[in-house]
A and B are shown apart, each in its own frame.
Chain A
Amino acid sequence: MKVLVPVKRVLDYNVKPRVKADGTGVDLANVKMSMNPFDEIAVEEAIRLKEKGVVTEIVAVSIGEQKSQDTLRTALAMGADRAILVVSDDKVEPLGVAKLLAKIAEEEKPDLIILGKQAIDDDNNQTGQMLAGLLGWGQGTFASAVVVADGVAKVTREVDGGSETEDLKLPAIVTTDLRLNEPRYASLPNIMKAKSKPMAQKTPADYGVDVAPRLTTLKVVEPAKRTAGVKVADVDELVAKLKAMGVAK
Chain B
Amino acid sequence: MKTLVWVEHDGTAVKDATLAVVTAASKLGEVHLLVAGQGVDGVAAEAAKIAGVGKVHVADDAAYAHALAENVAPLIVELMGHHDAVLFPATSNGKNIAPRVAALLDVMQISDILSVESADTFTRPIYAGNAIATVQTKDTKLVITVRGTAFEKAATSGGSGSIETVASTGDKGLSTFAGSEIAKSERPELTSAKIIVSGGRALQNSENFHSLIEPLADKLGAGVGASRAAVDAGYVPNDYQVGQTGKIVAPEVYIAIGISGAIQHLAGMKDSKTIIAINKDEDAPIFQVADIGLVGDLFKIVPELTEKL
Chain A residues with CB under 8 Å of chain B are 11, 16-17, 19, 26, 93-95, 98, 120-134, 136-142, 144, 154, 157-169, 172, 177-179, 213-223, 226, 228-232, 234-236, 238-239, 241-242, 245, 247-248
Cβ contact within 8 Å between A122 and B96: no
B214 is an interface residue with CB less than 8 A from chain A: no
Determine the residue in chain A with the shortest Cβ distance to B66: A164
Is there an interface contact between A223 and B137, defined as CB atoms closer than 8 Å?
A: no
Contact B294 A234 (CB under 8 A): yes
Known: A95-B108, A220-B132. A139 touches B180 (CB 8 A): no
Number of interface residues of B (CB under 8 A): 86
Contacts of A138 in B (CB 8 A): 70, 174-175
Q: How far is the CB of A113 from chain B (nearest CB, A)?
A: 14
CB pair A221 B132 closer than 8 Å: yes
Q: What are 6 inter-chain pairs, A to B, with CB distance below 8 A?
A: A136-B174, A140-B175, A142-B92, A238-B292, A238-B294, A242-B253
Query: Is there contact, CB below 8 Å, between A141 and B182?
Result: no
Additional A-B contacts beyond A141-B95, A215-B138 (12; CB < 8 A): A123-B126, A123-B127, A126-B109, A157-B92, A158-B92, A161-B189, A162-B183, A215-B137, A228-B290, A235-B308, A236-B308, A239-B309
Q: Which residues from B are CB-within-8-Å of A235?
A: 294, 301, 304-305, 308
**Contact, CB under 8 Å: A159 / B126:** no
The number of residue pairs between A and B whose CB atoms lie closer than 8 Å in the complex comes to 249
Determine the chain A residues whose CB is within 8 A of the CB of B109 once the complex forms: 94-95, 124, 126, 130
Is B126 touching A122 in the complex (CB atoms < 8 A)?
A: yes
The answer for the CA separation of A178 and B133 in the assembled complex, in Å, is 25
Which residues from B are CB-within-8-Å of A238? 276, 292, 294, 305
Chain B interface helix/strand/loop/mixed = mixed
A214:B108 contact, CB within 8 angstroms: yes
A125:B92 contact, CB within 8 angstroms: no
Complex CA gap A74/B50 in Å reads: 51
Bound: A21/B7 CA distance, A: 40
Chain A residues whose C-beta falls within 8 Å of the C-beta of B91 in the assembled complex: 160
Q: Output the least CB separation between B240 and chain A (Å).
A: 10
3 A-B pairs with the lowest CB-CB distances in the bound complex, closest first: A129-B99, A229-B291, A133-B103
| Docked-complex contact A226 and B92, CB < 8 angstroms | no
Q: Which residue of B lies closest to A213 (CB)?
A: B108
Q: Which residues of A contact B202 (CB under 8 A)?
A: none
A235 to B295, CA, bound (A): 10
B226: interface (CB < 8 Å):
no
In the complex, chain A residues whose CB is within 8 Å of the CB of B245: 178
Task: List residues of chain A with CB within 8 A of the CB of B121.
Answer: 218
> Max chain B CB contacts within 10 Å: which of A125, A134, A213, A215?
A215
- Whether A169 and B126, one on each chain, are in contact in the complex, defined by CB atoms closer than 8 angstroms, is no
Chain B residue numbers with a CB within 8 Å of A242 are 253, 276, 309
Which B residues are in CB contact (< 8 Å) with A121? 126-127
Cβ–Cβ contact A120 & B100, under 8 A = no
Minimum CB–CB distance from A17 to chain B (whole Å) comes to 4
Bound CA–CA A80/B99 (angstroms): 28
Q: Across the two chains, which residue of chain A brings its CB closest to B305?
A: A235
Contact: B136 with A95, CB < 8 Å? no
Q: For B309, what are the chain A residues with a Cβ–Cβ distance below 8 Å?
A: 239, 242, 248
Chain A's nearest CB lies how many Å from the CB of B103? 4
B131, A141: Cβ atoms under 8 Å? no
Q: How far is the CB of B235 from chain A (nearest CB, A)?
A: 14
Closest Cβ–Cβ distance, residue B231 to chain A (whole Å):
8
Q: Would you give the shortest CB distance from B186 to chain A, in whole angstroms?
A: 13
- Contact for B294 among A134, A218, A231, CB less than 8 A: A231
Distance (Å) between the CB of A79 and the closest chain B CB? 24
Q: Which of A128, A141, A221, A238 has the most CB of B within 10 A?
A: A238
B309 to chain A, nearest CB (A): 5
Known: A133-B101, A214-B138. A223 touches B132 (CB 8 A): yes
- Would you call A167 and B137 a contact (CB within 8 A)? no
Complex Cα distance, B247 from A26, in Å, reads 24
Q: Are A222 and B128 in contact (CB under 8 A)?
A: no
**Per-residue contact bits, chain B 42-83, to A (CB 8 Å; 1 contact, 0 not):** 000000000000000000000000101110010000000000
Q: Which of B80-108 contact A (CB under 8 A)?
A: 91-93, 95-104, 106-108
A168 surroundings in chain B (CB, below 8 A): 174-175
Check B205 for interface membership: any CB of A closer than 8 A: no
Given contacts A139-B69, A229-B292, A232-B293, contact A216 B138 (CB under 8 A): yes
